[in-house]
Structure 1
Amino acid sequence: MLSSLKRLLIGRPLKSNELGEQKLGILKALAILSSDALSSVAYGTEQILIVLATISVVAFWYSIPIAVGVLFLLAALILSYRQIIYSYPHGGGAYVVSKENIGEKAGLIAGGSLLVDYILTVAVSVTAGTDAITSAFPGLHAHSVFIACILVIFITILNLRGITESASILAYPVYLFVLALFILIGVGLFKIVTGDITPTAQHASIGAPVQGITLFLLLRAFASGCSALTGVEAISNAIPTFKDPAPKNAAKTLVLMGSLLALLFSGITFLAYYYGIAPKADETVVSQIAKETFGRNYLYFFVQGTTALILVLAANTGYSAFPLLAFALAKDKYMPRMFTIRGDRLGYSNGIVSLGVASIILIIASKGQTEHLIPLYAVGVFIPFTLSQTGMIIKWLRQKPAGWVAKLTSNLIGALITLTVLIIFFVTKLGQVWFVFLFLPLIVIMFLRIKSHYEAVGEQLRIQPEDEAIPVQGNVIIVPVAGITKVVENSINYAKSLTDQIFAVYVSFDREDEKRFEEKWQKWQPDVRLVTLQSHYRSILQPLSKFIDTVEHKASENNYRVTVLIPQFITKKNWHNILHNQSSLLIRAYLIFKKKVIVATLPYHFKK
């Protein structure tokens, strides 16, 4: 039943040689890897206005120069990550760049930041999408957390079906969103040019004096606006998902994404300023612009619908990049090896499922409040931004290839800007991002402990030429028995085929029962030694464990190995298991941790 449900939700398993069919072209890659960056248009401008609103609506004109600064940073990042794509064509992005050029700890900080950031990508995208839905249908506002969790489950299942299939589905809403916003911006600009705007729309002229404005507040607004740049790095992490030539296609996709992001962010910011839009708790800025431009007609709902879709599906950037980054870290032994295993549909299923579970926990913990997550979300991006730029600077200084001065200059400008933004975040939003200083060291320590474990395991498993093998002279088999049955007979006969050193062990709770069982056993299996153990406290495990320890101690002196052979019957139907006590499973679970004892189970299958 579970297998059938899995096939229904995820689809048929794919052969390993079908992996090439799971690669992405430019148009599909733009949809699946740029949805996070493009969707940030829906809340980037709003984050700037939320900060400026603490002064007055007159301060909203500052959103224009702040937007120009954000666009300048975007250009620097696009140029920098384009160089990273060509320099590191196997993916890994900031993690690989930082690890190879700065050092192990820097790479782990970048990798840990990005992993957390991708979890936040899913949480922020889905909660922002839920906000867009509840803006259009206010009656659903009370159920926003539940809606967000259902959406995460849907996207997780979609990604488990494979990257190509999810990209085919995602391409439509992403491009519909781009079309909807271009229509919104085009119609809005046309109305401004023709003077056809509502009389209530008011804005302060650029350069108007604003009482109470401070550099600190402007820097805080700029840092908030930089949340529109989240997701820019995803393409450099996911180069292996592109069709050949992968680096060239990835670079083209990056430039296309940057161009679309610049146009949409500029247009929305300008319309919000010109219309005099102020942020509201129950309605997004994009919703207000669309209502001001079209009224609440079908075009308004088209904009809101596509905005909600891309905000939800922008989470797919996290689902595309998180498993690949987790794979890179796991391959270097910093994360569990389960993240290197491909699932039925050739995706890294463990990474996909882990991301979905972590995102749901985060949404519930934050009560679906996007603004509580965005500052931490942006910090998680700008730490790897800064480290990757610094790593590239070190790379050019070491290698000095042709044209390295221009490349160095580009990365130096990018590093200075991203470092400045990061400092601004920490200074202006310390109360919201302070625990970055707590969880990043913990993540790095966790990575190092995992690698230390794998190295210790490798050292213990590695066969050394100088190691002398201890010869095994024979085997002693201990068979726990609960009665005289076909299950026990099956186990005893199997043990006899291996050795004549057999102990059948029966744990008795009273003397009369012990005596009766010994008499029956003597008649049934007189050639197999029976050991009966008294248990005054009705425990099977304690007396059995003590007996096994005694036998193992004597056996090891003669280089004998001790095997505990556990008889176990297997019911025909799974639900029958609840009708029987599972003592064999308990014994196995208890004994498996004994260092010098082999634990084996011999199943006996029922036919009805």
Structure 2
Amino acid sequence: MVNIPQALKRLVIGRAMRSEELGETLLPKRLALPIFASDPLSSVAYATQEILLVLTIGGTAFLYLTPWIGLAVVVLMAVVVMSYRQVVYAYPSGGGSYEVVSSNLGANAGLVVAASLLVDYVMTVAVSVASGVDNIISAFNGLADYRVLMAVIFIALLAAVNLRGVRESGNAFAAPTYLFIAGIVLMVVTGFVKMAFGHSPVASSAQYPITPEDHKNTLTGFALLMLALRAFASGCTALTGVEAISNGVPAFRKPKSRNAAQTMSVMGITAVVMFSGITILALTSKIHITADGCQLVGFPDCSTAPQQTVIAQLAAAIFGGDHSLLFYYIQAVTALVLILAANTAFNGFPLLASILAQHRYLPRQLHTRGDRLAYSNGILALALVNVALMVAYKADVTSLIHLYILGVFTSFTLSQIGMVRHWNALLRVEEDPRVRGAAKRSRVINSFGAVTTGLVLVIVLATKFTQGAWLAVVAAIFLFVNMKAIRRHYDAVSDELEVEDPSGERARPARVHGVVLVSKLHKATLRALGYAEALRPDTLEAVTVSVDRGEATQLERTWSEYEIDVPLKVLDSPFREITRPVVAYVRALRKDAPRDAVAVFIPEYVVGHWWEQPLHNQSALWLKSRLLFMPGVMVISVPWQLASSKLAGGPSRRAPGSVRRGEPVGRQQPRPPAVR
């Protein structure tokens, strides 16, 4: 019969791949760009909008600050890209900021970066998908009521594609990313050409004056500075995801570092060109967009109707209205690439989690590759957390954006400080003049990067903390504390299992006392008795619990009639309990002979359907859960395969080497019990 869950799994993620096929998943630069750089490339779709949303708090009075804020973002982007180019050459094994900081600033600083990046990867998915949904709603307003549902579906699709493996996700996401770049460049070039010929585009929102919030159009001095800094902090969302390439260097084809550095340069140049063009055109076309639609004087249904995004208004103004073919093209590729931008996190989060798991800071399951050689557990964990975020925040970009970028600038700053220490350490031992010269140049770049990103981190904290960024700080602290606790646990277990006296640790118990648990005398019981006898314990007895005296008497009678030479002991249970009398009896055996081992054999049914499992083995499950905590007690499950397990593809259809739950490895046929 067809195994339906396995068939569905293969349909979604494809055939399982052998470990030797890992080399076939390495990425050329043309696929690495959309996989690792889709986030910073797509963030230009909302970075300008976030700047305008802050500045229009004061009406139109402070829009003159937009080009200066945009220029500051561009300079920062260039600095960060140049800084991370040094990282991919100096630390080509992956890990990016985490490895740099751990190696140069210590384990605790590395964990701060790791926790910050994990939070930021989660927010990358949330903000990218929510922003993509916003662009869909800008084209089709009727879908506004299905915002959360669409976001959850997109997250599920992204997870499914990534479960198929890195290379396949690259093939799936390459075309939309390149189509988005082509569309934005076409829109920017067309807009500049129109401006050159005296036909500057005019946005549909230009007709609506903006009412400032609480007379904030008169801000001066420190208040104006804080407004500008807040707008700059919001515009810095354009830099999110830049570090993902440094985390994913091992996924590139050889030469890995050079290919990663070149991909990072292409990403930086492309993002700067698109962001600059959108920002200039947004100003010249007089786009008005506010956090509260009712600030737009005359905007119809301001309390309910969604405003069009900056990209949507530009496309409509440049390409002749919001019903033109190119308008729908821009909206389609923008929405698609924003949603696919979450793929940067779907690659970065599992990779970083895998490294942390390898270093024993996260559960080891996160270091395991799945059927398609992707880190499946990390992908699924990221998807589940983001589904919860979408439901909690109703997929609202404005609410989610405040939780964003804090983590990434923490990692930017600490990694640049770490790189400065890296170059200082190299210069102390290096004597080659050429190498020293290159190291000094790199140190200057990283020093400047540390100063600038550190300032931005302070600005982000100061301007976004009370607006929701404190939640990101709390989440990062929670992760940091838990990773330390996980490491302490793994270290304690490792120390506890450390072999100090091999001969002493291998010392055999004085005797092995076998106990076969019996409820009724049937085939499963006889198999357990036979298996126990085959292992030849020093003593062997069968034990049953007398819940019903009549049934216990009948069992003793049948036992005697079959002339089974294993003694049967009946434990009284006046309160009709099964677990407690057995545990007490086994504990008494251990107390009487502390140097002996007790082997408890439990017959178990192997069922073929999930709904059958609750109908069987519940007493065995409770017994095992108690007995496993007792030192010197071995619990051995002896399976009996029911007919349904064979119909569901039991032993004969199982993959070689696989073992069903509750079944001993090897599944040797036991010697039949002695029955006279």
TM-score tier after normalising by the smaller chain length: over 0.9
Equivalence for 2:387: 360
412, 421, 440: which is aligned to 1:405? 440
Distance 1:199 1:492, change over 3 A: closer
Equivalence for 2:483: 447
Equivalence for 1:343: 370
Equivalence for 1:291: 316
Give the SS at the match of 1:377: coil
Equivalence for 1:561: 597
Instruction: Specify the code of the residue in structure 2 equivalent to 1:129.
Output: G
Equivalence for 1:592: 628
519, 523, 526: which is aligned to 1:482? 519
- Superposition pairs of residues 209-608 of structure 1, within 5 angstroms: 211-213=218-220, 214-279=224-289, 282=306, 283-294=308-319, 295-296=321-322, 297-400=324-427, 402-403=436-437, 404-431=439-466, 432-465=468-501, 468-469=504-505, 470-497=507-534, 498-499=536-537, 501-556=539-594, 559-571=595-607, 575-577=611-613, 579-580=615-616, 582-607=618-643
CA–CA separation in structure 2 for the residues paired with 1:19 and 1:253: 21
- Count of matched residue positions in the alignment of Structure 1 and Structure 2: 602
Distance 1:576 1:101, change over 3 A: closer
Contact 1:561 1:597 in 2 (8 A): yes
CA–CA separation in structure 1 for the residues paired with 2:251 and 2:268: 19
- Superposition pairs of residues 183-202 of structure 1, within 5 angstroms: 183-197=186-200
Superposition deviation, residue 405 in structure 1: 2.8
CA–CA separation in structure 1 for the residues paired with 2:90 and 2:105: 15
Superposition deviation, residue 571 in structure 1: 3.6
Distance 1:173 1:198, change over 3 A: closer
CA–CA separation in structure 1 for the residues paired with 2:596 and 2:602: 19
Superposition deviation, residue 98 in structure 1: 0.7
CA–CA separation in structure 1 for the residues paired with 2:490 and 2:392: 33
- Superposition pairs of residues 74-113 of structure 1, within 5 angstroms: 74-113=77-116
Superposition deviation, residue 439 in structure 1: 3.0
Contact 1:44 1:227 in 2 (8 A): yes
Task: Report the more deviating stretch, 133-142 or 252-261.
Answer: 133-142
Equivalence for 1:115: 118
Task: Report the more deviating stretch, 195-204 or 516-525.
Answer: 195-204
Instruction: Specify the code of the residue in structure 1 equivalent to 2:585.
Output: F
Give the SS at the match of 1:222: helix
Superposition deviation, residue 328 in structure 1: 1.4
Superposition deviation, residue 392 in structure 1: 0.9
CA–CA separation in structure 1 for the residues paired with 2:393 and 2:628: 41
Gaps of 5+ in 2: 210-215, 294-305, 428-434, 645-676
Contact 1:555 1:562 in 2 (8 A): no
1:170 aligns with 2:159: no
Instruction: Specify the code of the residue in structure 2 equivalent to 1:290.
Output: A
CA–CA separation in structure 2 for the residues paired with 1:68 and 1:83: 23
Percent identity reads 39
CA–CA separation in structure 1 for the residues paired with 2:171 and 2:512: 59
CA–CA separation in structure 1 for the residues paired with 2:183 and 2:123: 26
Instruction: Specify the code of the residue in structure 2 equivalent to 1:406.
Output: R
**TM-score normalised to the size of structure 1?**
0.95
Deviations 1:359-386 (A, max 9, x none): 1112212211112222322101100000
Contact 2:461 2:469 in 1 (8 A): yes
**TM-score normalised to the size of structure 2?**
0.86
Task: Report the more deviating stretch, 501-510 or 382-391.
Answer: 501-510
Instruction: Specify the code of the residue in structure 2 equivalent to 1:389.
Output: Q
Superposition deviation, residue 520 in structure 1: 2.5
CA–CA separation in structure 1 for the residues paired with 2:614 and 2:92: 54
Superposition deviation, residue 525 in structure 1: 4.0
Deviations 1:302-355 (A, max 9, x none): 000000000000010001111111111112111111122111111111111111
Distance 1:504 1:190, change over 3 A: same
Contact 2:201 2:284 in 1 (8 A): no
Query: How much is the aligned-residue C-alpha RMSD, in angstroms?
Result: 2.0
